[in-house]
Amino acid sequence: MSESVLLYGGEVVTPQGVARQDILIEGERIAAVGPDLAVQRPHARQVDISGLVALPGLVDVHAHLREPGGEHKEDFHSGTCAALAGGVTTVLAMPNTSPPIVDRQTFEQASALAAAKAVCDYGLYIGATLDNAAGVAALAGQAAALKMYIGSSTGSLLVDQRAAQIAHFEAYPKDKVIAVHAEDEAAVQYYAAQGQRRPPICAALATAHTLTLAGHTRRRLHVCHVSTRAELALIREAKARGVRVTCEATPHHLLMTIDEERADRLGSLAQVNPPLREAEDVAALWAGRDVIDLVATDHAPHTLEEKRGSAPPSGLPGLETVLPLLLTAVREGRLSLPDLVRWAATRPAEVFGLARKGQIAPGFDADLALVDPSAEWTIGNEGLLTRCGWTPFAGWQVRGRVEQVYLRGRLAFAAGRVLAEPGSGRNVIS
Ligand SMILES: [Zn+2]
């Protein structure tokens, strides 16, 4: 018989709200949530979590773990350690690795690496190329989703030809998600020649075009990292007329402006695709929260040396900072705790079909982030578990710290240390 654990004394965020509740874990699952469960289950091992708030482990649907090919800046072990430190218990890993994950052979290679090294649960994306529509459709059952780069970013994956885009939307299964990096490549190149880096029109063009494709083919479109008022207006209108579209926003687009890149403070360190935006666009994201289904980190580590080089790569690490930053936003009254949970755990699990993830409720996996909501601290580069070793949020004062993380009923992270063994993470798709 599997062990029973009773967490008592903490506040618990459930779909119904926030309340003092006990959580009974049996084996890998949550067996019950409610007051005074100790009376019913005297045999359970009792763990006092007084002073802590229990959230469902976050589900991050957009993470670049860099393996294979970029192990000098991250791999499945270091990236999933960073995830646990950030209260994230499930990550969906992007396919723009080296080699990219675009066929059965590369998918199986990446699956074996993840299975051996991950310390949190995971799923793997498969990448669209100009000519692999039939191949990726055949692998759809094993993949977290299809990732299509309409505009170029890190790596070689790019599907900037209309015919290939249509072929993918026609071929991919109707119940599976097609996640799109929506920046129009021709517009990106045009503006680059004018000395402008990816202005908002690049994102709006690609989003409008892709929404049309999704509507016509009745496929499930997920727009990655929306960052502008224009994208939100397009997605709002498409949702209203029944297009099957969801979208995500990143902590960096929600919390930083392009001034971070212009100013001396971060400069090229803040370079990311799509870029950080003007304050009006950032305000539009907060005002348009009803259209944004979920928060995803787009965790995209590069070394400081790479970021400070002559041709800095785009991307920012984000797994370890997402939860403290969102808890601070709760403190500031910008969203509620149930909103945070819906945005960063429940809805991501729903959109990507992870039936046992994202809620503290009976039958769900016992994935928990236990946070101290009143801990005040300053984010720094020291002690980060991501191999790249830096964060664009260094120096930010935050309120709320991840103290313990449970993965399927087992304590996987506590007091700043990962306790889970490499290989204890499980593939949530197959
Ligand atoms: Zn990304």
How confident is the model over 244-278, as pLDDT tens digits? 999 999 999 999 999 888 877 799 999 999 999 99
d(CA 189, CA 197): 9
Q: In this predicted structure, what is the pLDDT of residue 1?
A: 53
Residue 320 has pLDDT above 60, yes or no: yes
CA of 149 to the centre of ligand 1 (A): 9
User: Which residues make Cβ contacts (< 8 Å) with residue 422, sequence separation at least 6?
Assistant: 77, 116, 117, 118, 119
CA of 46 to the centre of ligand 1 (A): 41
Tell whether the model's pLDDT for residue 364 goes beyond 60: yes
9-18, 218-227, 384-393: least confident range: 9-18
As a whole number, mean pLDDT of residues 278-301 equals 98
| Six token digits for residue 100 | 């990219």
Distance 64 CA to ligand 1 centre (A): 6
- In whole angstroms, give the CA distance from residue 384 to residue 377: 14
CA of 399 to the centre of ligand 1 (A): 27
Strands 22-26 and 29-34: antiparallel
Rounded to the nearest angstrom, the distance between the alpha carbon of 300 and the centre of ligand 1 is 7
The amino acid occupying position 391 is T
What average pLDDT does the segment 150-162 reach?
83
Residue 372 in contact with residue 301, Cβ under 8 Å? no
Section 78-83 average pLDDT: 98
Cα distance between residue 157 and residue 130, in whole Å:
9
What gap in Å lies between CA 323 and CA 327, rounded to an integer?
Answer: 6
- The pLDDT score that the predictor gives to residue 16 is 78
Secondary structure in 3-state letters for the chain: CCCEEEEECCEEEECCEEEECEEEEECCEEEEEECCHHHHCCCCEEEECCCCEEEECEEEEEECCCCCCCCCCCCHHHHHHHHHHCCEEEEEECCCCCCCCCCHHHHHHHHHHHHHHCCCEEEECEECCCCCHHHHHHCCCCCCCEEEECCCCCCCCCCCCHHHHHHHHHHCCCCCEEEEECCCHHHHHHHHHCCCCCCHHHHHHHHHHHHHHHHHHCCEEEECCCCCHHHHHHHHHHHHCCCCEEEEECHHHHHCCCHHHHCCCCHHHHCCCCCCCCHHHHHHHHHCCCCCCEECCCECCCCHHHHCCCCCCCCECCCCCHHHHHHHHHHCCCCCHHHHHHHHHHHHHHHCCCCCCCCCCCCCECCEEEEEEEEEEECCCCCCCCCCCCCCCCCCEEEEEEEEEEECCEEEEECCEECCCCCCCCECCC
Whole-number Å distance, alpha carbon 405 to ligand 1 midpoint, is 25
Distance 5 CA to ligand 1 centre (A): 37
Ligand 1 center to 322 CA (angstroms): 15
Q: Which residues surround ligand 1, an ion (CB under 5 A)?
A: 298
Single-letter residue type at 273: N
Lowest mean pLDDT among 150-154, 391-395, 402-406: 150-154
User: How far is residue 99's CA from residue 96's CA, in Å, rounded to a whole number?
Assistant: 8
**For position 260, what pLDDT does the model report?**
85
Question: What integer is the mean pLDDT of 32-53?
Answer: 91
Ligand 1 centroid to Cα of residue 423, in Å, is 24
Question: What pLDDT, in 10s, does the model give residues 326-353?
Answer: 999 999 999 999 999 999 999 999 999 9
Number of residues that make up the chain: 430
For the entire predicted model, the pTM comes to: 0.97
Q: Which pLDDT value is given to residue 265?
A: 78
Single-letter code of the amino acid located at 201:
I
Q: How far is the CA of 61 from the centre of ligand 1 (A)?
A: 10
The Cα-based distances of 270 to 7, 114, 229, 264, 378 in angstroms read 40, 28, 21, 11, 19
Map tokens 């926003």 to a residue.
249
Burial of 398 from C-beta contacts in 10 A (0-12 / 13-18 / 19+): buried
pLDDT, residue 422, reads 98
Other beta carbons within 10 Å of 91: 35
Question: pLDDT tens, 199-241?
Answer: 999 999 999 999 999 999 999 999 999 999 999 999 999 999 9
Give the distance (Å) from ligand 1 centre to CA of residue 63.
Answer: 7
Range 124-145 average pLDDT:
97
Please compute the mean of the pLDDT values over residues 118-136 and round it to a whole number.
Answer: 97
CA distance 395 to 381: 9
The mean per-residue pLDDT over the stretch 88-111 comes to: 98
- The Å distance, Cα 152 to ligand 1 centre, comes to 11
Closest CA to 25 of 416, 412, 415, 417: 412
Q: What average pLDDT does the segment 109-138 reach?
A: 98
Q: Do 89 and 345 meet the contact criterion of CB atoms below 8 Å apart?
A: no
CA of 7 to the centre of ligand 1 (A): 36
* Mean of pLDDT values over 379-404: 97
Cα(222) to ligand 1 centroid in Å equals: 13
What is the distance in A from the centroid of ligand 1 to the CA of 3?
39
Categorize the per-residue pLDDT at 42 as very low, low, confident or very high, splitting at 50, 70 and 90: confident
Average pLDDT of the residues of the chain? 96
Q: How far is the CA of 273 from the centre of ligand 1 (A)?
A: 8
Alpha carbons 85 and 96: distance in angstroms, whole number: 24
Euclidean distance between CA atoms 363 and 67, whole angstroms? 33
Task: Give the count of alpha carbons within 13 A of 401, CB side only.
Answer: 12
